[in-house]
Structure 1
Amino acid sequence: MPKVRILLVNTKVSRSTKKMVAGVRELRDKYPSVVGPILDSVEAIVEKAEYLLHQLAQVSHTQPQPNTDTIHAGLQDLCQVNQCLLNALGVGHRALDQVCAVARERGLAAKLTGAGGGGCAFILLPPDYPWEKLEEVVEALSKAGFESWETTIGSAGVTAHNFVST
């Protein structure tokens, strides 16, 4: 799995995962022929993103970055489309839209994380995104009342080690 730079953004808007999930279920039950295809599209986006991340992992292990920009652009497109679909399902929030607007104004893509309705979003950062531009993004988000942290995703995670006591 390749490491991908993101800016994690806390909108500080509290929400209830239970209510968000129930709202999507209610909408699906009410309009299955409309909501079903939206959910299918979300699934297709996840599958395409997995494919692009796999491609990115191959590029980073074999040669110096020939297709990285194209792959990253594809991931940005998928984030934007996914966010629009999530809004259509009713799990967006105007604070999340504001995060997406800050990102879009700077040529970046953002989407909500978790169940939506507030909470957190992430902004996808190109590998070579300049620090000066990132500071501008962080400042704009801070002025809107949000907190943000740069991090990476795609790391190994928790690893179990054998511990021998003497």
Structure 2
Amino acid sequence: MKAKGKVIFFGEHAVVYGYTALSLPINLSTNVNIKKNDNLVIELKNLNKKLGFEEAKKDKDFRYVIKAIELLKVKEPFFLSVSSELPVSCGLGSSASVVVATIRALSKFFNLNLPKKEIAKLSHRVEREVQGKASITDTYTISYERALKIRNNEFSFIDEFEKTVREEKLYIAYVEEREMKTADLIKVVSEKEEKEEIFKEIEEITREALSSDVERIKELMLENHKLLDKLGVSTKGLNRVVRLAKKFGCGAKLTGAGGGGCVIILGDLNEEEKELIEKIVKSLYLA
């Protein structure tokens, strides 16, 4: 069973303070396969790890899968294999994608027939119990596979916004490994004296984006990125990619907590433009 990743299109960091964020599912995904086995064994293909259940419980790389299995209280032994196209710790919801794919696979294998709403709730609970606290953004966007407007951990579907965005190509540039953890970046933002003023500007951009055409959305992405840079969560590498994308007539901004990671680029790049971007990033994906 597969589960997609996600990007935050507008509103990251501001959403932590009760403002609005817009999220979107992407086509990079995690795949979880389950088959009958004499013992419960878990394989993480990307990390080249394969452990029995008790051994896996001691390894933090397995913690999201372990928690999902424990939460569903399944008892029959099986072999579970996880592989993913998503780079980790760069704002694309890699852990949430693993959780959702695992719960979907367990639901199918054990004939639990869990609806999307229940999968979203269970997946959020797994992330919350593993991390200590978690927004619904990643798990709900991935579980429903629809664009969401999120505010104060409540959500609504924004299908028209996604339809508008998808009028042009959406790329994800994996620029660099993140320099700081999300919690540390949130602390950096919390210490900014002008943060409330910046959040209000981000909120205006986010609200306008919901009713804008694709060309205006591109402009708003660039404006949102400038404000995230003011908050201190961008980097020279991210800014360089955003500037180049702007030069090519695209919208672009960092996505997620920042401090490195990914830039989303909205626009139709030609082959030469793609090659120039690929030279300064780790990977460029069509999302």
- Supply the distance in 1 between the matched residues of 2:188 and 2:219 (Cα, whole angstroms): 26
Give 1:26's aligned amino acid: E
Deviation at 1:6, TM superposition (A): 0.8
Question: Aligned pair 1:119/2:246, yes or no?
Answer: no
Give 2:282's aligned amino acid: F
Deviation at 1:145, TM superposition (A): 3.5
Give the TM-score, by structure 1 length: 0.68
- Supply the distance in 2 between the matched residues of 1:82 and 1:139 (Cα, whole angstroms): 25
Give 1:81's aligned amino acid: E
Question: Aligned pair 1:44/2:186, yes or no?
Answer: no
Number of residue pairs matched by the alignment: 122
Partner of 1:24: 189
Give the TM-score, by structure 2 length: 0.41
Q: Which of 87, 108, 123 lines up with 2:229 in the alignment?
A: 87
| Pair 1:146–1:136, CA change in 2 (3 A) | farther
Q: Per-residue CA shift, 1:86-105, capped at 9, x if unaligned?
A: 00000110111111121012
Partner of 1:8: 172
Q: Per-residue CA shift, 1:103-153, capped at 9, x if unaligned?
A: 01211121000001110110012xxx3xxx4322321122114311112xx
Task: Identify the structure with bigger relative contact order (alpha carbons < 8 Å, sequence gap 6+).
Answer: 1
Deviation at 1:42, TM superposition (A): 0.7
Q: Which of 238, 244, 247 lines up with 1:102 in the alignment?
A: 244
Q: Is the 8 A contact 1:13 1:95 kept in 2?
A: no
Q: Which of 126, 137, 140 lines up with 2:276 in the alignment?
A: 140
| Pair 1:140–1:97, CA change in 2 (3 A) | same
| Pair 1:51–1:75, CA change in 2 (3 A) | same
RMSD value, Cα: 1.4
Note the residue ranges of structure 2 that are not aligned, 5 or more in a row.
Answer: 1-158
Structure with more of its chain in strand, by fraction? 2
Q: Per-residue CA shift, 1:8-31, capped at 9, x if unaligned?
A: 11012223111111100111xxx2
- Supply the distance in 2 between the matched residues of 1:10 and 1:48 (Cα, whole angstroms): 27
Q: Per-residue CA shift, 1:69-93, capped at 9, x if unaligned?
A: xx12210110111000000000110
Give 2:222's aligned amino acid: Q
Structure with more of its chain in helix, by fraction? 1
Q: Is the 8 A contact 2:174 2:281 kept in 1?
A: no
- Supply the distance in 1 between the matched residues of 2:222 and 2:176 (Cα, whole angstroms): 21
- Supply the distance in 2 between the matched residues of 1:145 and 1:83 (Cα, whole angstroms): 18
- Supply the distance in 1 between the matched residues of 2:211 and 2:281 (Cα, whole angstroms): 35
Q: Is the 8 A contact 1:141 1:147 kept in 2?
A: no
Identity rate of aligned residues, in percent? 29
Runs of 4+ aligned structure 1 residues displaced above 6 Å come to none
Note the residue ranges of structure 1 that are not aligned, 5 or more in a row.
Answer: 53-70, 152-166
